[in-house]
Amino acid sequence: MIAFLKTVLTGITLVAVSACSPPPGDAQERYSVLIINGTVYDGSLEPAHNTNIGISGDRIVSMDASPDATADLVIDAAGRTVVPGFIDPHTHAENDLLDDASKANINYLTQGVTTVYVGNDGRGLPDLEDKLAIMKRQGIGSNVAFFTGHGTAREETLGLEDRAPTDEELEQMREFVANDMRAGALGLSTGLFYRPGSYAETDEVIELAKIAAEFGGVYDSHMRDESSYNIGLLGAVKEVIEIGEKADIPVHIAHLKALGRDVWGQSGDIIALIDAARERGVEITADQYPWRASGTSLSSSLIPRWVMADSEQAMFERLANPDLEDRIREEMEANLWRRGGDESLLITGESAWRGMTLGEIAERMNLDPIDAAVEVVRGGDPTIASFNMNPDDIDALAIQPWVMTGSDGSGGHPRKYASYPKAYQDMVVTKSLFSMQHFVHRSTGLVADFFYLCDRGYLRPGLKADIAIIDLDNFRPVADFEHPTELSTGISDLLVNGKLAIRDSQYTGVLSGTVVNRQRLECPDQAATNSAAQASLIAYKQS
């Protein structure tokens, strides 16, 4: 039945596209927006070409428009690059989109991002439909797609208890996931490194992933371990693959990395595991941000999960318990070593200690780093940047044909404001790790293909007009760890659903974003498209 529906819908799409596309070169056609003279990368792995793009309403209707056609607005993109709007598969933008002061999502628009995913790391939106209704009512600057969160389902059912669910509780969690999937979620996300996700056994996750699979969803995971905290980095990759195989669901690894000196150099082993799984038929991808520093909370980086169980009050009681002191200190010292030591942890979140390293704070407090960390957490548990990745691992993972660009954007870290221009500058301009079309594809078409956003991610007739026009000479990150909220430069014009959100490098005030629901069961079969794209990327990698 699904195959039949795909065939019918494909036919409808083709008819609709042919009906609304003007004859090539028809100067009498009228467009709402006409983009002329730009260097166009269409989201595939094809080289750039010069063409003119005609837009009517919220869709592209011609990729071969006459430059003399009539249009309400003509954008002359001469000397600039035209690409599909970037799709960020991992952000934490949900609260920004719900806040009237930040709903425009300007920090993403100025990177060329037109669609963000939220609900990552297992942190789905409680009261999902109410939150989506708020976004629709007040308007948002970018599009948003969402995951159902394992951590949210677990906390709503078990609180923060460190135990397995009963059969009845597991059924409640299944229904939570099913309800969000019915509302249009892309799939199930987990944060198995964080509480309460860290308290779940693999079988629990498999059972919930099966529910997402029934709706045509995917499994997205912040893995249980990106370092040597518990099952190890390679063990965590194997767990993700096991979940994909046993739940029969496509899997996506969030912000793939080798975090900390214990696992530096393991990128080759990660690649071998994933390539072997793909050869067995597992659909698996990953995303990556282009920074040496990760970002999390101070407590999550250092305090053992068993100490954090149940509640914040229970955590502080354990931290103050003299019978547990030696065990806690030993584990926290090991975690600090994994993170690179006290000078590698920079406070980035709202705190009196913002801009200082843990080592500097310890010296100021006249305490050792572990005691200083506990005191800082007592005062509000700020976010940190943790400088603990090896550039060789970053580069080795970046060139894989199954790796997408992502930001993991969170407060205090410049990745929220600058990941896409930094990836371009580092990987295309400075290191020549891959071509411009590869960069565009890993930021657009690859994301759309895997998550089945079949009307975005490419510049093609019939697709939504999410389009970035970039001045590549000025496409640069401005934000850094001292100034993490500086907007990036280089996006001269940006259309979200056919409306200009940025014009002449300035935000227009337009809120034309929309909620994007899961489309997999409605998409034409993209197996051939995905296969061809992967083959092209592999050939490029080998060259």
pLDDT for 357 beyond 50: yes
SS3 labels along 383-422: EEEEECECHHHHHHHHCCCCEEECCCECCCCCHHHHHHHH
- Shared domain for 369 and 403, answered yes or no, is no
The reply to whether 169 falls in a domain is yes
Domain boundary among 335, 365, 387: 387
pLDDT in tens, 377-432: 998 888 899 999 999 999 999 999 999 999 999 888 999 999 999 999 999 999 99
Sign of the CA dihedral with 287 first, then 47, 427, and 400 last:
positive
pLDDT for 290 beyond 90: yes
The reply to whether 307 falls in a domain is yes
- Shared domain for 198 and 327, answered yes or no, is no
- Shared domain for 235 and 301, answered yes or no, is no
Q: What is the CATH number of the domain that holds 227?
A: 3.20.20.140
Q: Band of the pLDDT at 492, cuts 50, 70, 90?
A: very high
Domain boundary among 372, 387, 402: 387
Is there a contact between 458 and 84 (Cβ–Cβ < 8 Å)? yes
The reply to whether 184 falls in a domain is yes
- Shared domain for 344 and 408, answered yes or no, is no
* Residue 251, beta-bridge partner list: 219, 284
* Per-chain mean pLDDT for the chain: 91
The reply to whether 39 falls in a domain is no
pLDDT for 305 beyond 70: yes
- Shared domain for 246 and 105, answered yes or no, is yes
- Shared domain for 254 and 374, answered yes or no, is no
Q: What are phi and psi of 382, to 5 degrees?
A: -75, 165
- Shared domain for 233 and 97, answered yes or no, is yes
Residue 302 DSSP symbol? H
Angstrom distance (rounded) from CA 86 to CA 445: 9
Angstrom distance (rounded) from CA 232 to CA 143: 36
The reply to whether 8 falls in a domain is no
pLDDT in tens, 23-59: 444 556 899 999 999 999 999 999 999 999 999 999 9
The reply to whether 271 falls in a domain is yes
Mean pLDDT to the nearest integer, 65-86: 98
The reported pLDDT for the residue numbered 8 is 34
- Shared domain for 209 and 265, answered yes or no, is yes
What is this structure's pTM?
0.90
Domain boundary among 371, 387, 403: 387
- Shared domain for 228 and 305, answered yes or no, is no
CB atoms within 10 A of CB 432: 8
The reply to whether 161 falls in a domain is yes
The reply to whether 133 falls in a domain is yes
Domain limits for position 362: 296-387
- Shared domain for 226 and 90, answered yes or no, is yes
- Shared domain for 287 and 300, answered yes or no, is no
- Token pair recorded at residue 400: 């894989």
The reported pLDDT for the residue numbered 9 is 36
Angstrom distance (rounded) from CA 523 to CA 72: 32
- Shared domain for 237 and 112, answered yes or no, is yes
Alpha helix locations (H) across 58-142?
A: 94-98, 106-109, 128-138
Q: How far is CA 161 from CA 150, 195, 273, 310, 379, in A?
A: 14, 9, 33, 5, 24
Angstrom distance (rounded) from CA 97 to CA 92: 10
State the virtual CA torsion across 102, 107, 108, 111 in degrees, nearest 10. Answer: 160
Choice among 172-181, 231-240, 346-355 with the minimum mean pLDDT: 346-355
pLDDT in tens, 126-146: 999 999 999 999 999 999 999
The reported pLDDT for the residue numbered 412 is 85
The tally of domains found in the chain comes to 2
Distance between start and end Cα atoms, the chain: 42
The reported pLDDT for the residue numbered 522 is 61
